[in-house]
């Protein structure tokens, strides 16, 4: 039981770290920094709604794993690209991580 609690804490800590780092690194993205923060803010409620709908169909754990994997893959690819693709991948990572963080808080 302790290993499961430790694993859940590590998932939440990693998710929160990526969630914060994407916002802190927004100045490095192309375009207006204020507009980029607005885009990241704009997708957050939509990602939570999407994660909630997916959790109803596929289950919370599967949706959490998928959201975090999608967010993590988008963060890695964001570091490897430049230009508008980098901004699109930053937004995609925010979608996955915000949805995953929202689901991690409601898991039993």
Q: What is the pLDDT of residue 42?
A: 87
Q: What is the pLDDT of residue 108?
A: 62
Q: What is the pLDDT of residue 1?
A: 57
Nearest to 36 by CA among 79, 88, 99, 95: 88
Return d(Cα 23, Cα 20) in angstroms, integer: 5
Count of positions (residues) in the chain: 108
Return d(Cα 28, Cα 86) in angstroms, integer: 10
Secondary structure of residue 96 in the 3-state scheme = helix
* pLDDT tens, residue order, the chain (108 aa): 577 777 777 767 777 777 777 777 777 788 888 888 888 888 888 888 888 899 889 988 888 888 888 888 988 898 899 888 888 888 888 888 888 888 877 766
Q: What is the pLDDT of residue 75?
A: 84
Q: Global pTM?
A: 0.77
């Amino acid at each position: 039981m302790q290993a499961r609690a430790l694993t859940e804490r590590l998932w939440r800590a990693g998710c929160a770290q990526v969630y914060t780092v994407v916002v802190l690194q927004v100045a490095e993205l192309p375009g207006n920094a204020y507009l980029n923060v607005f885009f990241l803010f704009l997708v957050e409620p939509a990602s939570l709604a999407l994660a909630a709908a997916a959790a109803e169909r596929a289950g919370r754990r599967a949706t959490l794993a998928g959201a975090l994997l999608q967010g993590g893959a988008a963060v890695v690819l964001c570091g490897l690209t430049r230009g508008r693709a980098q901004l699109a991948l930053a937004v995609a990572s925010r979608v996955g991580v915000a949805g995953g963080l929202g689901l991690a808080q409601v898991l039993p």
